Structure 1
Amino acid sequence: MVADWSFELGELGVDRDEVVAEFGRYLQLERDLSAHTVRAYVSDVNSLLDHLGGRLEGLDVGVLREWLAGQHAAGKARATLARRTACARTFTAYCRRRGWLEADPGLLLGSAKTSRELPAVLDQRQAEAVLDAPATGEPKELRDQALLELLYATGVRVSELCGLDVDDVDRERNIVRVLGKGRKERSVPFGTPALRALDRWCIHGRPRWMRAGSGPALFLGVRGGRIDPGTVRRVVHARLAQVEGAPDMGPHGLRHSAATHLLEGGADLRSVQELLGHASLNTTQIYTHVSIERLRAAYQQAHPRA
């Protein structure tokens, strides 16, 4: 039996697919959310509409709580539940604006709290081992070394790294221009090792992989197109697997490590916030907890009366 996914809204007959598509366009064009967030919210809305049987009729705070309770019972992570709560509130507000709902039930929906689990990070010895691996002159190794150096030197997100163009790197001032969340641009400094690795890649590696469609992309895949986040994740996992004792983590782990090492080296929290592109200082503060936990572990291991 094929479900009828259209629903009647007052005197308007609105197709479910149209509602979801319009909501997606609103998130992209008016809210300026990332493509990843838009995909996640659209998926969440489809899940909510499935729960409603494809109709907005009867959508109230009780139904929203029932839907979220079902997600919790299904074993969804706290972060997922928090995102779906935020999505539900955004969706009901949008529907109220469009006149599809008489009231906004999302206003009565509480915010789900996410757990503040401390991220896994490399210690400085492990970070050095990851970056000091010998490399030949092959394009892949030159590229991998350059992107690893830049990830750790700047703490940029993997999506930001993949979006970099050649002209975004200022070699005179050792600064890279990054387009972050909300299309906010920031300038992030990097050190001499990263500059050397970038120069080796751009001079000896990138030209050998360039194709007609390569464009200005800084990092390329083997076929000459702009590198994708999945490839970067595989590079990071493979390099970390070669370091004894290093936790298995992806590019975001290098971001966590860079932030932690900056704070351990004396950088102030506001500077780290600016480097990472965090909108809120609360997000950056988790790295102070990481440093404290590492200090506590070292104390308990080393102090005779711990």
Structure 2
Amino acid sequence: MKNCSGNILDDFLKDIYSGGAARSTLDAYRKDIAYFAKWYMDMSSKEPHPWDITSIDLREYQGYMQNIQGLKPATVNRRMAALEKYIRWAHEKGYVGRLPVFPKIVREQKTPPKALERVEQNRLLREAERRGKTRDIALIRLMMSCGLRVSEAVSIRLVDLDIGERHGTVAILGKGNKYREVPVPPEARKAIREWMAERTKRYPDSDWLFPNRNGGHITARNAEQVIKNIGKFAGLDIHPHVLRHTAATNMLRTGADLVTVAQVLGHANLNTTAIYTKPDRKTMMEALEKGEI
């Protein structure tokens, strides 16, 4: 094992900086390792040299952060990851003879993706109507009713649509070039028909449902900005994927099964769709309040 000379932590930070890490990353590593150093000195009254750190120290520190400090799993895992990277680097450089056993990461229960409640959906749609742009209403309705990704919505061609008063489908080429047909429910069909009547006059030669002035279609970035702006007027901080999450949540809450929702969303794996079945904090609180004696 190497003899220690100079400041090992500074050497570590210089190494990862030369490897392409940003200054902010260096600052984060320094802070996270400093948290451990303080705990170690409080516990042992000596400097935490990397060759002195044992498996037991690492387990106790992780437990301290969880049980005494009450830190969230993401914070605990980040600090432990910084410490592990430092110790592994010291091992590669010869400062540490034998690597300690690093504790397993703290598992965090996944929460369902953010979806709009009914009252929030109504606020968003009301604000879209107030802004008076039929294109924006059609875009929001299509994404929130059909659960489309923003990239899928903006790249719809007229030939992909089959929209009537009593029926409607849109053909989508999704992730991995996977083709699917998604039904379009009544309110979304109505919004699309109103927009198509207008777009025919404004963009008679375009093949796209949502054209731009250059002959192509609006970009995902354009659509994202539209949704964010209307969301702000409605008092909501949202992005396009929230509308997709909302569609999935609405389907499940009204009795749709996982296979159906997965087919609509274009998920290849049911486990991806199953995240929407997890209750949010409000639902769990309501359940606990109803069950409380």
Q: For this structure pair, what is the TM-score category when the shorter chain's length is used for normalisation? A: 0.5 to 0.7
Q: Which amino acid aligns with 1:305?
A: E
Q: Is the 8 A contact 1:236 1:251 kept in 2?
A: yes
Deviating more after overlay: 265-274 vs 232-241: 232-241
For 2:153 and 2:227, the matched residues in 1 are separated by: 13
Q: Is the 8 A contact 2:128 2:137 kept in 1?
A: no
Structure 2 residue 157 is matched with structure 1 residue 165: yes
One of 207, 210, 215 as aligned partner of 2:200 = 207
The aligned amino acid for 1:265 is T
Q: Which residue of 2 aligns with 1:226?
A: 217
In structure 2, do the counterparts of structure 1 residues 243 and 133 end up closer, same or farther at CA, with 3 Å as the change threshold?
Answer: closer
Aligned to 2:292: 305
Name the counterpart of 1:217: 208
RMSD: 3.3
Q: Say if 1:268 and 1:113 are closer, same or farther in 2 by CA, change over 3 A.
A: farther
TM-score, normalisation: structure 2:
0.59
My pick for the range that moved more, 274-283 or 218-227, is 218-227
Contact 1:209–1:220, Cα closer than 8 Å, also in 2? no
C-alpha deviation, 1:221, in angstroms? 2.9
Q: What does residue 83 of structure 2 align with?
A: none
Number of corresponding residues? 197
Q: Distance in 2 between matches of 1:142 and 1:133?
A: 12
Deviation at 1:181, TM superposition (A): 0.7
Structure 1 residues 137, 298: CA separation in 2 closer, same or farther (over 3 Å shift)? closer
Q: For the residues of structure 2 that align with 1:176 and 1:73, how far apart are their CA atoms?
A: 49
What stretches of structure 2 of length at least 5 have no aligned partner?
1-17, 32-73, 75-104
Structure with the greater relative contact order (CA < 8 A, sep ≥ 6): 1 or 2? 2
Helix, strand or coil: the match of 2:127?
Answer: coil
- Which of 107, 111, 125 matches 1:131? 125
Question: 5+ residue gaps in structure 1?
Answer: 1-49, 53-68, 79-111
Distance 1:221 1:114 in 2: 45
Q: Measure, in 1, the Cα distance between the counterparts of 2:107 and 2:226.
A: 29
> Residue type matched to 1:158 in 2?
V
Please give the secondary structure, in 1, of the residue aligned with 2:191.
helix
Matching residue's letter, 2:190: R
Higher-Rg structure is 2
| Aligned pair partner of 2:270 in 245, 267, 281 | 281
- 8 Å CA contact 2:138–2:192 kept in 1: the answer is yes
Contact 1:209 1:223 in 2 (8 A): no
Provide the residue aligned with 2:255 in structure 1. Answer: 266
Q: Distance in 2 between matches of 1:233 and 1:114?
A: 32
